[in-house]
């Protein structure tokens, strides 16, 4: 058994000591979705800090926890807070929560985030369904001994974002009359925002939005056979596009302003997974 799987097994044993709940869907909350709990029937809360070996966010004010319960009729596990690679954890620890949710029982994973818009047809506050990704600017979370209990050494990545879930998201957005863009997400390490030249490079590579999370989580989930979908809130236009300087506070403010509609969209989609 690999060291990483031993660590996961310890986390999983702790989880099972708290509850025998088996979620079918996972949801990772990005900026603006922090108060998501009101959209679900929460039965258990597990602070990350109580799970042995679990990576805990070093960002001040991020009280990370799993929320377990029902979104509509769907048994779900929700991550309030995630760790980012820029916090200094090895990438295998950054995706440990995704793998733990797989062990809890999830079949599908819904990823959300705030991202900078690279596509010039996007506007601040837009939602972008992720159709594909570029993750080569961060290490693969699969580097190191393969966790064969979860998946194969060389997993296919043809459809990282599940085509059926993409259809469901399109239909739901249209029914809810929520404007939805689509595009390719590129992950950087952060924590600095990009330079204008880097954004021009990402545009030339075919990226529509940029962020500091998500792509590594999607790879770990696909490795483990979990279906993935994702939506970004375009919290700002990426560096160099409008000429304005970027600040975390502005990014957060836009994500918060769009939070209610984002929550409604995510909830309607997950309810239909049932």
Tokens 């043809």 correspond to 158
Sequence-separated (6 or more) residues with CB below 8 Å from residue 155? 142, 219, 222, 223
Indicate which residue of 212, 224, 238, 255 is catalytic. Answer: 212
Binding of residue 114 to ligand HPA (CB under 6 A):
yes
Residue selected from 33, 78, 142, 212 as contacting ligand HPA according to rule CB under 6 A? 212
Cβ–Cβ under 8 Å, residues 119 and 204: no
Q: Does the annotation mark 198 as catalytic?
A: no
Residue selected from 26, 32, 116, 183 as contacting ligand HPA according to rule CB under 6 A? 116
Cβ–Cβ under 8 Å, residues 262 and 231: yes
Binding of residue 81 to ligand HPA (CB under 6 A):
no
CB of 87 to ligand HPA, least distance (A): 14
Query: x/- binding map, residues 169-208, to ligand HPA, per CB under 6 A?
Result: ------------------------xx--------------
Structure tokens at 134: 């570029």
Alpha carbon distances (Å) from 120 to 78, 116, 123, 168, 173: 32, 11, 8, 26, 22
Active site positions, annotated: 31, 62, 84, 86-87, 114, 212-213, 236, 248
**Contacts with ligand HPA, residue ranges (CB under 6 A):** 114-116, 193-194, 210-212, 235-236, 238, 246, 251
């Amino acid at each position: 058994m690999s060291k990483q799987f031993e660590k996961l097994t310890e986390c999983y044993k702790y989880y099972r000591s708290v509850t025998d709940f088996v979620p079918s869907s996972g949801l990772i909350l990005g900026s603006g979705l922090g108060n998501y709990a009101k959209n679900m029937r929460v039965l258990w809360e597990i602070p990350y800090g109580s799970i042995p070996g679990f990576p805990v966010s070093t960002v001040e004010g991020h009280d990370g926890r799993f929320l377990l319960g029902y979104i509509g009729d769907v048994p779900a596990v929700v991550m309030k807070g995630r760790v980012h690679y820029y916090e200094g954890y090895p990438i295998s620890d950054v995706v440990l929560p995704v793998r733990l949710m797989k062990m809890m029982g999830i079949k599908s994973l819904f990823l959300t985030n705030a991202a900078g818009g690279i596509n010039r047809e996007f506007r601040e506050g837009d939602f972008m369904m992720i159709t594909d990704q570029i993750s080569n600017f961060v290490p693969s979370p699969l580097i190191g001994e393969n966790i064969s209990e979860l998946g194969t050494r060389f997993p296919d990545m043809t459809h990282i974002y599940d085509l059926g879930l993409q259809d469901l998201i399109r239909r739901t957005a249209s029914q809810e009359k929520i404007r939805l863009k689509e595009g390719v997400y590129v992950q950087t390490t952060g924590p600095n925002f990009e330079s204008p030249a880097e954004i021009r490079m990402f545009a030339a590579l075919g990226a529509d939005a940029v962020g500091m999370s998500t792509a590594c989580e999607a790879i770990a989930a696909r490795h483990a056979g979990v279906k993935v979908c994702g939506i970004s809130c375009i919290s700002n236009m990426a560096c160099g596009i409008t000429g304005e300087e970027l600040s975390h506070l502005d990014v957060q403010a836009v994500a918060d302003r769009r939070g209610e509609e984002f929550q409604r969209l995510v909830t309607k989609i997950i309810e239909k997974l049932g």
